A = this chain, B = another copy of it.
Amino acid sequence: MTGAEKRRTARISQILDAAALCFVEMGFHRAGMAKIAARAKMSPGHIYHYFESKEAIIAAIVDRESAKAAERFAELDAVDSNELASVMTERAIQSIEEKTDILQSALNMEMLAECQRNPEIACIIQRHDKYIRDQLTHLIGNKIGLDLAEARTDMMMVQFSGLANRLLRNPDMDLSSMIALMRQTMQSILTPDTIGDHV
């Protein structure tokens, strides 16, 4: 990377970081370009050298955040098949314990709300969602060797997004009991079928 390219990348990161913070704090529509610019330590006009519009910024953020999430899931590829189930379970539990993810959730809400209306953003989100799903489906179907891999994948993702939602609505939730239950639920999802036994 040339010096100019490095500088360009750094500038873009500055903008995305500033914008993400602003979006979380004030929401997409209340976060003015002026404030984002101030936080990114550049002039409002200059942002338009790097992004065509405000929407392009949120698209870039969605892209970046989704890529991060995909990366985290990609790490699971390196995990031994026997341990996969428990590693994934611990991931979910970690989400409960570290409340840092609440910020992330807030950004997620913003992104989802926006994607409802903006087809371009909806497209980016769904592309990344599919990537993660494929990754997980591969792990569950091929490495762990379970049937109904796609459904199990979706069910796992239900747990992750549901958990974020729940932490947002009930911040005082009793974590320790939840952890036990979440462990049980994840195991149930990743366990060869006993479906029908309990009905």
A interface vs B, CB < 8 Å? 24-30, 86, 106, 109-110, 112-117, 125-126, 129-130, 133, 148, 150-152, 154-155, 157-163, 165-166, 168-170, 173-174, 177-178, 180-185, 187-189, 191, 193-196, 198-199
Contact = CB atoms under 8 A, between A and B. Distances in A.
Classify the secondary structure of A's interface with B.
helix
Contacts of A187: 198-199
Q: Which 8 A-B pairs have the closest CB atoms?
A: A162-B162, A151-B177, A29-B29, A158-B162, A161-B165, A187-B198, A109-B113, A188-B188
Contact of A165 (B30, B110, B162, B169): B162
Give this chain's copy count: 4
A184 B186 CA distance: 11
A170 B129 contact: yes
A45 to B, nearest CB: 12
